[in-house]
Each structure stands twice: as structure tokens, then as C-alpha cells.
């Protein structure tokens, strides 16, 4: 059973996915006018670097797009206009990675310019279904059609309808690019929402919960007449992620240690070059032999590591140091467990065999930012060497708690203890702070202290409580 939770706040969209009640993935997109994966732009080749088979493409933004191409098959010229697709967003000083020609994905098929051919997902293993698709789906001159795994659950008429819709859309993009006098975005509004819907709506999807009518209409239109999916509009005052306990789970992702049910744990660390995950037996100590304990802990850890990689959106090189195992069968079981836990991962994670040092390596394509990028920022106190929760995220958490507390009665006074590294952030704009936590009509008493992880909020119900903290009232001058 798969459930999708779609929360839209001012300038930010968050989508969480639960499978069998467990949070497995979380996507975040901020409105910052920067190119996002899935968007399509008209661009102009500004510079070509033949030595690395790359070009830099002006797409109308501050940073040029980076395009890798085969100079023998697809030669480019400086000044040439192109239609490009954003593959990955800007990262640090690098511009977004782009591709050309573009591909347009649908729920059941992907359409791309190329040889006239029909490709079928390898995950569709049923021979009868594959033969039916080959004999029924007609190819289109100048286009390559790829049938997605989800297509196995619907009629070929539905697939054909989608393919021709994609063709019409592709041709409309080409027309707009032809007549446009400037480089600009041609396609891709709400690219993240539609990508998540495409990749995660299947026969196992049972429920989608949204908190805006805009997204309700978009999802309803997308799932059409699929009666197996329950679409719910969230109407509670509390935010959707807070109401369903997702906010708390996201906050827990800051912890490097993840405990396992067997008593062991995994520890996730980030270095300059890679992520390193260490597996420990910890409390998983019993009368059984060490080999059995190591195998049990490693298999459970492998399953959890796959979930954590997807949930935290870890990318690049990931090295896992499992508890030492001499038994090749045990290693095979662990390898199979981590492969299975990463099945369906849209970032194409690749798992390599164990090394002689019992290390297992994983490579995973970068897909947007990690969850840390959205909830953490550099700490000014320690000259950027440490991380702290973003001030905007702290305000969001405090607002959630005020709303949750107010649901129990009309309360106008709140006492907040907040870590002292946020003092300048709050005092610098008191009105904005009160506005963002939904407390312009309330009395807020705030004390900045060092001995606290994030914050602590307490409703003040009695006069003696208010008198005791009156010196900490946040006064608007």
C-alpha cells in the first residue's frame, strides 16, 4: 500500500511517500526562479569544449546549462539554438545539467526524438503483455517510444491516447521555440509534482492527500477515473505534514544514528568526497554465535540503508562498512537485501559487489538536493564548520506547535526557549518572526539559551506563569 502526501506552502512544495505505513521518500521544491529537473527551455550554444565533449548553453538564466554530447553523432555549433531539458538543477557554482534532444514522459510511455522504434521496460516480464504491446502500439516517424512499467496494468487504447497527447505536446514545444525571440522556459510548470505522480502512481497506490485545491484539481485530472485511489483534501488547521507525523520524521533525519529493531544501528556520515555508513551490532548481543548475529544485523541494516538513502536523497559515492562476514552465502543475502531495498529508485542507484575489506559501494545519481539542504544552513557561530536548522524551518515548527496547542483552547500567551544562535535572526526582525509563527495577535515571551537542541514551547495559562517570564516578552517597537 502506497500513500502520497502533498503539502504546498508559500514558495515551497513538499511531497512525502509512505509504503506500508513507513516513510520512504520525501521531495522538496522551492520557488526560486531557478531551472528545475523536468523543465524544457529554448537555449543557445555559447561555448563548446571539444576535449570533454561538452557545451555551455544559455537558457535565459544567470548560469549556463551544461550539455554533454557526442560530437560525431550530434555536432554542435556556437550560436546554434537548441531545445534542452533540465536533467539536474544548479549545484554550487555549476549551472544546471541539460540534455538534448528532450524526452517527454507520461504515466505509461516516454516520447523522444530519434529513430522510429518501440522499446518496452524490462520490468514488464510477462511475454503475452510484451507481445500484445509490440503488435498493438504503432511507432511514429521521427520518434522513439518507450513503454513504462505502469503500462502493464492498463489497456493499449489508454497507452495510445497518451502517446499521441505527448506527440502533440512535443510539437507544440517545437513551434513555440521556433517563434520565440528569446531563450526561456517552454514547458514544465509544477515539474516536481508531475514527476512524482508519474513515478509513484501504480497499482499499489491507495491514497493521495493534498492541502490545496490547485493540487487537488491537478491530481484528480491526472488519476482520471482510477477508482482504486482515494483522493483527499486536507482541511485541518494544522499543516498536513505535522498532522500526519511526517514533520517529526523529517526532523529525525538530522540524526546520524538510526537504530535497528534487532538492537544494532547504522551511522551515516558525510565526508568531502562521499557518504560513509557504518553498521554496528550495538545491543544485538545474544547467546548465538557471532556469525549469525552479524548476518542478522547486516541484513536488517541493508534494508534500512536503502530506505535511508532514498529518504535522505543521498547521492554520489556511498560506502557501507558492514559487520565482517566470512560466509559468502551471508554476503550474498546482504547484497540481495540492499539491491531489493533500492528497487524502484528513480535515481538509478547501482550496487557493487563486496570488496576484500568487506566494504560495499553504491553509486547514485544526484536528483535535486538532499533533505539536509532544505532544513539546514551553515552556522555562523562556528564559521560555517557546523550545521543548524534553518531559521525559516524553526519558525515553521514553532507555528505548527502553536496551532496544535491552540486546538486545545484559546491561548494568547506563549513562552519559547530558543537556542541562542538564533537570537540575531529573531531580534533583527521581530515583526516578521511573529508573523511567520502566526503570533501577531499573541504575547510571546522568548529566552535564548545555549543548552537546548532546537526550541521548547510552553503555553502560559495562569497569571503567575506570565509574571515569571514577563522580562522576556518580545516587544514590537
pLDDT in tens, the chain (477 residues): 899 999 998 788 899 999 989 999 998 888 778 898 889 999 999 999 988 889 999 999 989 999 998 877 778 899 999 999 999 888 778 899 999 999 999 989 999 998 999 999 998 999 999 999 999 999 999 999 999 998 998 999 999 999 999 999 999 999 999 999 999 999 988 888 888 888 888 888 999 999 999 999 999 988 877 788 999 999 998 899 999 999 999 988 888 999 999 889 999 998 888 999 999 987 766 556 778 888 999 999 999 999 999 999 898 999 999 998 888 899 999 999 999 999 878 778 899 999 988 899 999 987 767 777 788 887 766 655 577 888 999 999 999 999 988 776 678 999 999 999 999 999 999 999 999 999 999 999 999 998 888 899 999 999 999 999 999 999 887
Q: Where in the chain is the domain with CATH 2.40.50.140?
A: 40-99
The three cell numbers of residue 413 are 500567551
CA pair distance 87, 307, nearest whole angstrom: 23
Q: Where in the chain is the domain with CATH 3.40.1260.20?
A: 383-472
- Angle between helical axes of 191-200 and 213-223 (0-180°, round to 10): 40
User: What is the CATH number assigned to the segment(s) 2-33+191-249?
Assistant: 3.30.420
What sign results for the dihedral spanned by CA atoms 125, 129, 134, 140? negative
10 Å CB burial of residue 10 (0-12, 13-18, 19+) is exposed
Pick the CATH number of 255-364 from 3.40.198, 3.40.1350, 1.10.3210, 3.40.630: 3.40.630
Domain 383-472 belongs in CATH node 3.90.470.20: no
Q: Is 145:139 a contact under the CB 8 Å cutoff? A: yes
Q: Where in the chain is the domain with CATH 3.40.630?
A: 255-364
Q: Where in the chain is the domain with CATH 3.30.420?
A: 2-33+191-249
Give the CATH class of 40-99.
Answer: mainly beta
Q: Is 314:308 a contact under the CB 8 Å cutoff? A: yes
Strands (E), 322-358: 350-351
The three cell numbers of residue 464 are 503567575
Which DSSP symbol is given to 420?
G
Tell me the Cα Rg of the chain. 26
Q: Report the DSSP pairing between strands 316-321 and 275-280.
A: parallel
Amino acid at each position: 500500500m502506497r500513500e502520497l502526501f502533498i503539502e504546498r506552502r508559500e514558495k515551497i512544495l513538499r511531497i512525502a511517500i509512505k509504503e506500508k505505513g513507513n516513510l520512504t521518500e520525501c521531495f522538496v521544491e522551492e520557488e526560486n526562479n531557478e531551472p528545475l529537473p523536468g523543465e524544457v527551455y529554448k537555449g543557445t550554444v555559447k561555448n563548446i569544449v571539444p576535449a570533454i565533449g561538452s557545451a555551455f548553453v544559455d537558457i535565459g538564466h544567470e548560469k549556463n546549462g551544461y550539455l554533454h554530447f557526442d560530437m560525431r553523432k550530434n555536432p554542435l555549433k556556437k550560436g546554434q539554438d537548441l531545445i534542452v531539458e533540465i536533467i539536474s538543477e544548479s549545484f554550487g557554482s555549476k549551472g544546471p545539467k541539460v540534455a538534448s534532444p528532450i524526452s517527454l514522459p507520461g504515466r505509461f510511455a516516454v516520447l523522444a526524438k530519434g529513430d522510429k522504434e518501440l522499446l518496452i521496460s524490462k520490468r514488464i516480464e510477462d511475454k503475452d503483455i510484451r507481445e500484445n504491446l509490440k503488435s498493438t502500439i504503432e511507432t511514429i516517424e521521427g520518434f522513439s517510444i518507450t513503454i513504462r512499467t505502469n503500462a502493464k496494468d492498463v489497456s493499449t487504447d489508454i497507452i495510445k491516447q497518451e502517446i499521441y497527447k505527448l506527440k502533440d505536446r512535443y510539437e507544440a514545444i517545437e513551434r513555440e521555440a521556433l517563434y520565440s525571440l528569446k531563450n526561456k522556459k517552454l514547458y514544465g510548470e509544477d515539474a516536481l509534482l508531475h514527476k512524482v505522480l508519474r513515478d509513484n502512481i501504480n497499482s499499489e497506490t491507495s491514497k493521495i492527500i493534498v492541502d490545496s485545491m490547485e493540487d487537488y484539481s491537478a491530481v484528480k485530472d491526472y488519476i482520471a477515473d482510477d477508482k482504486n485511489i482515494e483522493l483527499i483534501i486536507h482541511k485541518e488547521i494544522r499543516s498536513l505534514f505535522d498532522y500526519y507525523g511526517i514533520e517529526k520524521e523529517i526532523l529525525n533525519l538530522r540524526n546520524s544514528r538510526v537504530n535497528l529493531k534487532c538492537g544494532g544501528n547504522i551511522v551515516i556520515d558525510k565526508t568531502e568526497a562521499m557518504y560513509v555508513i557504518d553498521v554496528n551490532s550495538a545491543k544485538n548481543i545474544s547467546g548465538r554465535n557471532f556469525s549469525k548475529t552479524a548476518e542478522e544485523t547486516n541484513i536488517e541494516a541493508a534494508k534500512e540503508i536503502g530506505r535511508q538513502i532514498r529518504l535522505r536523497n543521498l547521492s554520489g559515492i556511498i560506502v557501507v562498512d558492514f559487520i565482517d562476514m566470512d560466509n559468502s552465502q551471508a554476503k550474498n543475502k546482504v547484497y540481495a537485501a540492499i539491491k531489493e531495498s533500492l528497487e524502484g529508485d528513480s535515481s538509478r542507484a547501482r550496487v557493487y559487489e563486496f570488496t576484500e575489506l568487506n566494504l560495499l559501494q553504491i553509486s547514485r545519481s544526484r536528483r535535486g538536493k538532499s533533505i539536509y539542504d532544505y532544513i539546514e544552513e551553515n552556522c555562523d557561530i562556528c564559521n560555517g564548520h557546523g550545521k543548524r536548522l534553518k531559521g525559516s524551518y524553526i519558525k515553521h515548527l514553532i507555528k505548527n506547535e502553536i496551532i496544535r496547542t491552540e486546538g486545545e483552547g484559546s491561548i494568547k500567551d506563549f513562552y519559547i526557549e530558543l537556542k541562542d544562535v538564533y537570537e540575531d535572526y529573531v531580534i533583527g526582525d521581530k515583526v516578521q518572526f511573529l508573523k511567520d509563527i502566526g503570533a501577531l495577535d499573541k504575547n510571546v515571551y522568548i529566552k535564548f539559551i545555549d543548552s537546548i537542541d532546537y526550541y521548547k514551547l510552553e503555553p502560559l495559562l495562569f497569571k503567575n506563569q506570565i509574571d515569571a517570564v514577563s522580562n522576556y516578552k518580545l516587544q514590537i517597537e
